[in-house]
Amino acid sequence: MIEAVGARTLWAMHPAALSDLLAQITIAAKLPDSIKGLAAMLQAGTAMTQAKGPADPIREGATLIVPVQGPLSPRGSYGGTSTERLTQIVLEAGDDSKVGAVILHLMSPGGLVFGNAEAGDAIFAVRAKKPIVGVASPYAFSACHWLGTQCSAFYASTSGEVGSVGVRGGHVDVSGFEDKIGMKTTLIASSPEKIAGHPYGPLSDEDREEMQADIDACNQTFVAAIARGRGIEASAVPGIHGEGRTFSAAKAAKAGITDGTMTLREAIAKYSSSRSRLDLMRRRAEVQGMAAAI
């Protein structure tokens, strides 16, 4: 099911990727019902042969590798990762004594703001129990950058890129288009607030101010999360992580945005090493010792 996108929807996503996604959504919304029905039938006919969404987590010894790929949204719409499912996987891995470390394979342009803070909070909570490492392979932008900064370590692959910090919304005024085709939409509502930001006329100053306030508040949450995850002051986040810019792996490492340059393969090798296994055996010994004392 595709999650609804409306005038009040807030995105934390790379601008180019978001433009492409919104164009696809807009085109799909304008298709006649008959064409939509045909497209649905074709999609159902190929569902058995096409993979949907990111791959499932895999184990490499005591290390759990979790793909975080494509657009991020609560239900995993648009062919990307479900932040609700990601939250569940991360929390379960944190409580699983057989998992010594978690590696998030980050390859996402970001996505909806909805659900992202919860996923970030889960990642940050688990890092108190065991290593949870984010690797931008090859990119982690916006909402995905948010998640990467919550990890106990955050890396970018050699040719990787991170950043695009910020939140955006938008408004489309279709009244000019309606005028050209001889169409006029009249909205009737119980109060002006019920139709605030509607697309059938220019955006009012009051609605613009409210949308800007929502975006600013959400961005503050974004910045606070980065500050918490990276152990810096919130006031330092814009100067280090930028306010929309992206950074190559080398520049990100030099600026302290990430903890260095490391490929996914190297991260798996490192956190599947004896150190990780030793930490796992130590936790098991502590659990057995507690059980023996009872």
Rounded to an integer, the average pLDDT of 136-164 is: 98
**CB distance 199 to 173 below 8 Å:** yes
The boundaries of the domain holding residue 96 are 11-169+210-287
pTM of the model: 0.81
Q: What is the number of domains present in the chain?
A: 1
Cβ atoms within 10 Å of 287's Cβ, excluding its own: 11
**CB distance 172 to 199 below 8 Å:** yes
Rounded to an integer, the average pLDDT of 112-139 is: 97
Position 120 in a domain: yes
Which CATH number belongs to the domain containing residue 105 in this structure? 3.90.226.10
Cα→Cα distances 264→152, 155, 185, 274, Å: 15, 9, 52, 18
- From the list 144, 155, 16, 12, the residue with the least C-alpha distance to 68 is 144
Higher confidence at residue 36 or residue 161?
161
User: Which phi and psi angles does 58 have, rounded to 5°?
Assistant: -130, 155
Rounded to an integer, the average pLDDT of 246-254 is: 98
pLDDT at 134 exceeding the cut of 90:
yes
Higher confidence at residue 279 or residue 210?
210
Q: Place 43 in a pLDDT band, splitting at 50, 70 and 90.
A: very low
In the structure encoding, which two tokens stand for residue 118, read together? 């919860």
Least confident range of 35-49, 115-129, 269-283: 35-49
pLDDT at 115 exceeding the cut of 90:
yes
Position 246 in a domain: yes
**CB distance 94 to 112 below 8 Å:** no
Position 187 in a domain: no
Residue 53 has a pLDDT of 58
Higher confidence at residue 130 or residue 41?
130
Position 87 in a domain: yes
Position 63 in a domain: yes
Max mean pLDDT among 186-190, 197-201, 210-214, 245-249 falls in: 245-249
**Could you read off the pLDDT of 179-189 as tens digits, one per residue?**
888 988 898 98
Position 227 in a domain: yes
